[in-house]
Amino acid sequence: MSGLRRVCAVLVLPVLLAGCGGTGRDPAPTYSTAPRPVRAGETAVHTAPRADGRITFTVIGLRTGITYVVGSHGDQKAQGRFVRVRLVAANGYPNFHTLDLGRERLLTTDGKAYAISENATRIKRQPDSLDIGAGDRVEFDLWFDIPAAARVAALRLYGEPTDDLGVSLPVGPGVRVPLG
């Protein structure tokens, strides 16, 4: 019987030790960033990041129903209502990557798509395009002017896919990010 116990111990011990050791890999380390308060009138948005090519978009804030924008060099009344969407774009490419923000669209529940408001974008000093460094991320606002009765549904965002040398690839359908 003692021989049987030794055989069992030899067979069972490695299984038990393997179970205690986990996967043998530590989880990937993450940056520790402090939470920030949501801006006045804005709602925090908690959607999963979405990627188009190697550009990952994360929507973090939404404000609807804005009737007027004011900046240091101009102001404008909305034709309908302004919508401000705060998002983060992360560049997973090994080189600079340019985003043409004029391609982005706000989708409403009635199925219509709206381009950014160039005037509101300029008044609020937001970019028309972005050059993002390799491995960098940037946070910015998109401004839209939609009919007052329209209800926000989602964003259609375009990562402008390239190869690793920065050569443009055919632009696909983009990525849809729900906002409600």
The pLDDT tens digits of the residues spanning 51-90 come to: 999 999 999 999 999 999 999 888 999 999 999 999 999 9
Distance CA 174, CA 61 (A): 20
Ranges of residues in the chain whose predicted pLDDT is under 70: 1-24
Q: Where are the beta strands (DSSP E) in the chain?
A: 43-44, 50-52, 55-71, 74-91, 97-100, 105-108, 113-115, 129-132, 137-146, 152-157, 175-178
- pLDDT given for residue 6 in this prediction: 56
| pTM for this entry | 0.81
> Which of 103, 180, 112, 100 lies closest to 146 in space, CA to CA?
112
